[in-house]
Amino acid sequence: NEFGCIDSMSLIARVQAGFNLFIPNSFSPDGDGLNDYFKVYGQDILSFNMKVYGRWGQLLYEANDLESGLDGTTLISDSILPSGAYFYKIEVVDINYNSKQLEGIFTIYR
- 38 vs 26: CA distance, rounded Å: 7
Whole-structure pTM value: 0.81
The answer to whether residue 17 scores a pLDDT higher than 80 is no
The answer to whether residue 24 scores a pLDDT higher than 90 is yes
Query: With bands split at pLDDT 50, 70 and 90, how would you rate the model's confidence at 26?
Result: very high
Beta strands in the chain (DSSP E): 20-22, 26-27, 41-43, 45-53, 59-63, 84-94, 99-108
Query: With bands split at pLDDT 50, 70 and 90, how would you rate the model's confidence at 36?
Result: very high
Range from 6-20, 55-69, 73-87 that averages highest in pLDDT = 55-69
DSSP state of 9: -
In this structure, are residues 52 and 72 in contact, taking their beta carbons and an 8 Å threshold? no
- 89 vs 98: CA distance, rounded Å: 17
